[in-house]
């Protein structure tokens, strides 16, 4: 049984460097939230960070039994008002320790969709601040053979007794934020960038006709679990997930009509859901009216919280606004900063008017 470790709040510490780093405020928010530890099932630090960011801007804020953060902004329209739910997941993919050998090397299992090709030589970080390096067995394996059960984590321990990490401890990728100008790179853009979009939308949304629920969900990467329970509780009349999507704009990429810098992507379909046509059209028509660039997304593999929200109770008209992202589920996920800002503009424009599904 693993010994409980006290989580270190290292990503949340404010210092003179963070106050004077010269980043655009939205980039600074992205840096701070992506560098927080938060694999699926371990979202507490992310939740605390978001709650501090949005307190005072909503009429009600609560945490449900599973750990979802649910914030309600009351509408100005006459009752009964529609309930609109926006969802972005707080969790990131990660790993969990299954065994510590006599030399202190850790074996692990994935939390979410971990691709072993992204791991060798990369770093991870545990809740107590310990950094680990992913390595792989090389004896009797080829250079092209990369499997999770042939990999391990090296935390610098010399034996099992000295290891400060034990069975059941979870880790997330570790790579610091990088500002490349229009492009920004970090671990956990999936889906902290969606959380950033929701936080900034809340900040910019002066008023709405309808009640808007900003929901920051847990455990999306392991089965859309937070969206399932939170949507059941909120009972929305309309739901929009904000998440990442892949692109087709890198060399020899799979054909996909999504590129960085061409606007947020309005989902048409993914492997788990068909977007409600009226929700898709609402977002597209609003983008046209506001002259906001956008793309249509058809994703062959993968799905989002929209699937869970769509199928809650007797069904909910649901869609998804996606941030085009390169190198998803790697330690260095890349987005275009203009796409992020335009996603905020589109949501603010959509929510600032009476929502009608036609």
Among 119, 80, 83, smallest CA distance to 235 is for 83
Please state the length of the chain.
358
**d(C-alpha 94, C-alpha 246), whole Å:** 19
Tokens of 60: 């009600």
**d(C-alpha 98, C-alpha 344), whole Å:** 41
Among 114, 45, 84, smallest CA distance to 279 is for 84
Catalytically annotated residue among 53, 200, 220, 221 = 220
Tokens of 226: 């937070």
Residue 85 near residue 135, CB atoms below 8 Å: no
Among 328, 318, 218, smallest CA distance to 274 is for 318
**d(C-alpha 97, C-alpha 71), whole Å:** 34
Beta strand pairing status for 295-298 and 265-269? parallel
**d(C-alpha 290, C-alpha 353), whole Å:** 12
Residue 319 near residue 266, CB atoms below 8 Å: yes
Is residue 220 annotated as a catalytic residue, yes or no?
yes
Residue 310 near residue 96, CB atoms below 8 Å: no
Residue 240 CB neighbours (<10 A): 29
User: Coil, strand, or helix at residue 80?
Assistant: coil
| Residue 194, phi then psi, degrees to nearest 5 | -65, -40
Query: In terms of DSSP H, where are the helices of 141-242?
Result: 189-204, 225-234
HSE-CB of 99 using CA atoms within 13 angstroms? 7
Q: How far does CA 70 lie from the centroid of its chain?
A: 16
Q: Would you please indicate which residues are annotated as catalytic (active-site) residues? A: 220
């Amino acid at each position: 049984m693993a010994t409980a470790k006290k989580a270190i709040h290292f990503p949340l510490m404010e210092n003179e460097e963070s106050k004077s780093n010269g980043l655009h405020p939205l980039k600074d928010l992205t840096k701070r939230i992506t560098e927080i530890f938060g694999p699926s099932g371990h979202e507490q630090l992310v939740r605390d960070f978001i709650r501090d960011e949005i307190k005072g801007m909503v009429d009600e804020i609560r945490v449900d039994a599973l750990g979802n953060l649910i914030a309600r902004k009351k509408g100005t329209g006459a009752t009964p008002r529609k309930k609109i739910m926006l969802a972005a997941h707080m969790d990131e993919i990660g790993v969990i320790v299954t065994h510590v050998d006599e030399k202190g090397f850790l074996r692990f299992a994935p939390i979410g969709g971990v691709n072993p090709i992204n791991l060798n030589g990369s770093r991870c970080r545990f809740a107590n601040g310990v950094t680990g390096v992913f390595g792989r067995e090389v004896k009797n394996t080829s250079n092209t053979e990369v499997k999770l059960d042939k990999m391990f984590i090296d935390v610098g321990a010399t034996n099992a007794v000295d290891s400060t990490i034990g069975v059941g401890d979870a880790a997330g990728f570790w790579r610091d934020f990088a500002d490349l100008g229009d492009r920004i790179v970090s671990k956990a853009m999936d889906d902290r960038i969606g959380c950033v979009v929701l936080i900034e939308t809340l900040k910019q949304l002066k008023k709405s006709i309808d009640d808007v629920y900003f929901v920051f969900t847990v455990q999306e990467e392991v089965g859309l679990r937070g969206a399932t329970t939170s949507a059941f509780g909120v009972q929305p009349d309309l739901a929009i997930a904000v998440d990442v999507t892949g692109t087709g704009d890198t060399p020899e990429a799979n054909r996909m009509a999504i590129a960085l810098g061409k606007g947020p992507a309005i989902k048409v379909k993914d492997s788990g859901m068909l977007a409600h046509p009226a929700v898709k059209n609402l977002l597209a028509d609003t983008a046209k009216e506001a002259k906001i660039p956008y793309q249509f997304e058809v994703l062959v593999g993968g799905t989002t919280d929209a699937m869970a929200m769509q199928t809650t109770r007797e069904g909910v008209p649901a869609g998804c606004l996606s941030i085009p992202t390169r190198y998803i589920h790697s330690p260095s996920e890349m987005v275009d900063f203009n796409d992020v800002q335009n996603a905020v503009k589109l949501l603010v424009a959509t929510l600032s008017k009476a929502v009608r599904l036609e």
